[in-house]
Amino acid sequence: MSNSTFYVTTPIYYVNDKPHIGHAYTTVLADVLARYHRAAGDDVWFLTGTDEHGQKVQKAAEKNGMTPIEQCDSTVVRFQELWKRLGITNDDFIRTTEERHWKIVQAIMQDLYDRDLIYKAEYKGYYCVACERFFTEKDLIDGKLCPDCQREVDTIVESNYFFRMSKYQDWLIQYITEHPDFIQPAFRANETLGFLRKPLEDLCISRPKSRLSWGIELPFDRDYVCYVWFDALINYISAIGYGVDQARFERYWTSCIHLIGKDILTTHSVYWPTMLHAIGLPMPKTIFAHGWWLTGSRKMSKSLGNVVNPMDMADKYGVDAFRYFLLAAMTPGNDASFTEEDFLQRFNTDLANDLGNLLSRVVKLSIKNFGGTLPAPPPLQPLEMELLSKAAMAVKQLENELNAMKLDRGINAVMNVVREANKFLERTAPWTLAKEGKTDRLAAVLYTAAQTLEIVSGLLFPIMPEKMTQLRRSLGLSEAEIVKTDFKSLSEFADPSATNRTMVDMPPLFPRIVVEKPEEAAPAKPEKQKKQEIKAPKTKDVVVPEGMVTIEQFFKTQLRTAKVLEAERIENKTRLLHLKVDLGNGDVRSLVAGIAQQYAPEDVIGKTIIVVANLMPAKIAGFESCGMLLAAKNETSLKLVTVDGGDAEPGLTVG
C-alpha cells in the first residue's frame, strides 16, 4: 500500500426491516479495510448509510401504520446502533432523505433532461416490488416470476421517464474489457459482460406519484418521483461533496472501492457506470461483489426463517469473535456457509486454543520467573530469529492479500504465525528451562514469543480492536504503544531492556466454549429388510476384467467437496503439506498431501477440492491424515482437482 487516498463504501441499506448478517458482513469488511489502510498511512474515507425511498419503504410504513419518514426514522437507528455495537469506524453516514443528497439527485436529473439524455415514453413492463426493478417478459420465470427473487411480478402499463442507458453499451463493454480491476472478482466481470451481450435497454427512472409518492420529485415534472435505484446510487458522490465541495470530491472519488453483494451486481456494474459516464465523471476504482452467507446450501432469507441476527451473535459470543469469524470464514467473492457449530469450532480452535493459549503461556511464565518484566535477552539463536522473521513476513503478506482483496488468506497467514509460535514453545520448552535454571535462554524464548504476539496483535487489531487492546495491555504495552499499530512499527522489534514493560495476568482472552452434546437416544431396533422386487445382478456372476472395478466397488468410495482452511509445510518433508479441510456440517479434518513441490501453502487455502472421505486414517510424517485429495498428474506436473467456480459449499457428494 502507498500513502494515498482510500475511499470505501458499503451499499446503503433499505430501512424496511432490521439489519441481518449480510449487512453486518459488508460493513465489517469495509471497516476492517478502512482500519488497515489507516494503519498503512492512507487518507481514508469510509461511507455507509441507508436507502430511504421507494415502494418497499412505503409499503412497510403502511403496514406499520406510520408515515414513510417515521418508518425511516424508526428503522435507521437499528443500523446506527448495530454499527456502534460492532465497532464500525465510518467517517460518514448518509440518509437519502437528507437535503445534501436529494438536491444533488435533482440537479443531475435536470442536467440529463436538458441534454436529452432523459425522455418520456409509454412503457409496459413487469415490475417486482421486492427488487424494485422492471423486467421484460423474456426475463421472467414461467412468464410470471421475478428471475431474482422468484416472487410474482405486477404487469404495469404507464407513461414514464427513461435514461438513455442503451447509448453507452459499447462504451461500457470496452471499459470493462480494458480495465480488469474495475469489476472484481474477475468472474463477476464476466457475468456483467454476459449480461451486456443482449441489447441494453433504456432505464426507466421515474414512478408516477399516483402509484408511488415516496421518493425524490423530478425537477421537470412534479407528477413523478425518481426511481429508487437511480436515486440511491448517487449517494456515493453526493456524500463526498460532488457539486458542492469539488476539491474534496476529487481527492477521494477515483480511489473509491464499492463493496456490494453479488445480488446487486447489475445495478452497480451497468446502471451506475452508464450514469456516471453520462454525467461526465470518471469511474470508481473497483466494484467488488462478495458472495452470500448461506445456511447449508440455501441463501439466508427472512421468508425462509434462516436469517442470523448479528446483534444476537455479538451479544452471545462477543463482538470481536463475531467480526473475526465473518472475515476468516468467507473468501471475498465466494459464498460461505454459516452455522453456529462452524462458528464455535473456529472460535475454540483459532482464538481459544491457538491465540489465547499462546498469550496465557507467555504471560504466566514471564510473571512466574521474572515478575513479569523480562530482562534483556542474550543474542537470539537461529530458532528465535526464524520465528521473528516469519512474523515480519506476515506483515508484508497481509498487506499483499489486502491489496488483492483476499483478506481471509491474510488472516490465515497471521494465524499461521500464531501456530508457529506455539510450536516454538513446544520445541524450546521454556517450562523445562525454568526448572533447569537456564534463565538467559528462558528470557530469550519468552522475549521472542512476546514480540511475536505484539506483531500478531497489531495485525489483528483492525479485526478485533477490543481483544487486541486487552492482549497488548497484558503484554505490558503502554496506552500509547497499544494504539500504535501501523505496519512500519510492527516490523520494528522492541528492546525489552529499554521498554521496561511489565506483563499483567488477565482473565482468558477467549475462554473456550464448551458445547454440551444432547443426550443420544437409544438406537432403534433395525427393521427386517423387505425383499427387493428387482434383484441386482450378483457380483460373483460377473466376470471383472483385470484393471476394472464393478459399480458396487466404485460406490464404496465416498468423494466429497472440501474447503481448505489451513495449510503448512511439514519440516524436513519437501513434498508434503499438512492441510485442515472442511467437509461441511462441522467435519474439519487433518490431511497430508504430497503437493508441496507444486503448491505453496497460501496457494491452496480457500480452494474447494475433492477428497476421498472414507479412506482409513493413517499417520504420515507425524500427522494424522483422514482422507486423500484428488489431483491430475503426469511425469512433469500435478494439478489439484477443484470445483468449477470455486464457490460450492463443503460436503457435497461427488459422483
Q: Which three cell numbers stand for residue 104?
A: 444533488
DSSP character at residue 54:
S
How far the first Cα of the chain sits from its last, in Å, is 45
The three-state DSSP-derived secondary structure of 422-482 is HHHHHHHCHHHHHHCCCHHHHHHHHHHHHHHHHHHHHHHCCCCHHHHHHHHHHCCCCHHHH
Q: How far apart are alpha carbons 451 and 462 in whole angstroms?
A: 19
pLDDT tens string 525-568: 454 444 443 343 444 444 555 556 665 566 567 788 888 877 88
Q: Is the pLDDT of residue 523 over 70?
A: no
| 130: confidence class by pLDDT, cuts 50, 70, 90 | confident
Q: At what angle do helices 169-178 and 186-195 cross, to 10 degrees?
A: 160
Radius of gyration of the chain (CA): 29
Q: Is the pLDDT of residue 59 over 50?
A: yes
pLDDT score at 567: 83
| 323: confidence class by pLDDT, cuts 50, 70, 90 | very high
* Mean pLDDT of all residues in 171-181: 97
Q: Is the pLDDT of residue 301 over 60?
A: no
Handedness of CA 396, 401, 403, 408 (dihedral sign): negative
pLDDT score at 322: 94
Across the chain, what does the average pLDDT equal? 87
| 1: confidence class by pLDDT, cuts 50, 70, 90 | very low
Q: Is the pLDDT of residue 432 over 80?
A: yes
- Placement of cell 456440517 in the chain: 585
* Mean pLDDT of all residues in 278-282: 98
pLDDT tens string 627-652: 888 888 865 677 888 876 545 677 77
Of 124-133, 172-181, 390-399, the one with minimum mean pLDDT is 124-133
Give the distance, in angstroms, between the CA of residue 11 and the centroid of all CA atoms in the same chain. Answer: 15
Q: Is the pLDDT of residue 398 over 80?
A: yes
Name the residue with higher pLDDT: 70 or 295: 70
Contact 293, 331 (CB under 8 A): no
Among residues 570, 460, 508, the alpha carbon closest in space to that of 358 is found at: 508
Of 288-302, 342-356, 599-613, the one with minimum mean pLDDT is 288-302
Of 56-70, 264-278, 306-320, the one with minimum mean pLDDT is 306-320
pLDDT score at 376: 86
* Mean pLDDT of all residues in 479-502: 75
pLDDT score at 540: 44
Bridge pairing between strands 286-290 and 653-654: unpaired
pLDDT tens string 378-391: 889 999 999 999 99
Could you tell me the domains of the chain?
A: 5-310 (3.40.50.620), 340-499 (1.10.730.10), 551-654 (2.40.50.140)
* Strongest mean pLDDT among 132-146, 325-339, 493-507, 602-616: 325-339
Please classify residue 626 by burial: count the beta carbons closer than 10 Å to its beta carbon, then call 0-12 exposed, 13-18 middle and 19+ buried.
buried
Q: HSE on the CB side for 80, CA within 13 Å?
A: 12
Secondary element (H or E) of residue 562: strand 559-570
Q: What percentage of the chain reaches a pLDDT higher than 90?
A: 57
Q: Is the pLDDT of residue 14 over 70?
A: yes
Q: Where are the beta strands (DSSP E) in 164-292?
A: 183-184, 203-204, 206-208, 217-218, 221-226, 256-261, 286-290
Provide the 3-class DSSP secondary structure of residue 15: coil
Q: Which three cell numbers stand for residue 302?
A: 427472512
Of 19-23, 36-40, 125-129, 537-541, the one with minimum mean pLDDT is 537-541
Q: How far apart are alpha carbons 418 and 356 in whole angstroms?
A: 10
Q: Which three cell numbers stand for residue 407?
A: 483478506
Q: Is the pLDDT of residue 408 over 50?
A: yes
Cα-Cα-Cα-Cα torsion 560, 563, 567, 572, nearest 10 degrees, comes to: 10
* Mean pLDDT of all residues in 230-236: 97
Contact 42, 257 (CB under 8 A): no
Provide the 3-class DSSP secondary structure of residue 7: strand
pLDDT score at 220: 97
Q: How far apart are alpha carbons 97 and 214 in whole angstroms?
A: 10
